[in-house]
Structure 1
Amino acid sequence: MWKDEIVEEIHQIRETYAKSFNDDLNAIFEDLRKKQAESGREVVTLSRKPGLKTRWSGRYVGDEVKENSHS
């Protein structure tokens, strides 16, 4: 079976990183959060805003329904 050297290297890095935290997911998560905060980069949330729902018949924005029109 063919193996991609780059993918294998990434797997090895991931394994070494996990072992440095004794495979403790909570510790890994905290480390990643710390690195994220220290990076200075803007964090973007892609989740929808509360109260915004889409439906087959139209788009609900609060209590108002906006119909999709293709005319």
Structure 2
Amino acid sequence: MINDPIVKEVRLYRQEHAARYGNDLNRIIEAFRKKEQESGRVYLNPGPKLLQKQTT
């Protein structure tokens, strides 16, 4: 396997970030949602796409 310093740095950051929230996925997601709300940016969530009935 090739040692890529950029991949190594990203993985290290990801591990540190997860450890900040006790490696709890729910806490990590909640922190991202809070940061998203505080940013003031408009985010688009188009929701699920509905399938059209096909006539054959």
- Normalised by the length of structure 1, the TM-score is 0.64
Q: Structure 2 unaligned runs (5+)?
A: none
Partner AA of 1:46 in structure 2: P
Equivalent residues, number: 55
**2:25: which partner in 1?**
25
**2:51: which partner in 1?**
53
Q: Structure 1 unaligned runs (5+)?
A: 59-71
Per the TM alignment, residue 26 of structure 1 is displaced from its structure 2 partner at its CA by 1.2
**1:40: which partner in 2?**
40
* Root mean square deviation, CA, Å: 1.8
- The higher-RCO structure (CA 8 Å, 6+ apart) is 2
* 1:15 and 2:25 are equivalent in the alignment: no
Runs of 4 or more consecutive aligned structure 1 residues displaced over 4 Å after TM superposition: none
Partner AA of 1:42 in structure 2: V
Indicate the structure with greater helix content.
2
Query: Structure 2 CA distance, aligned partners of 1:5 and 1:37?
Result: 33
Query: Structure 1 CA distance, aligned partners of 2:4 and 2:47?
Result: 34
Indicate the structure with greater strand content.
1
Q: Which has the larger radius of gyration?
A: 1
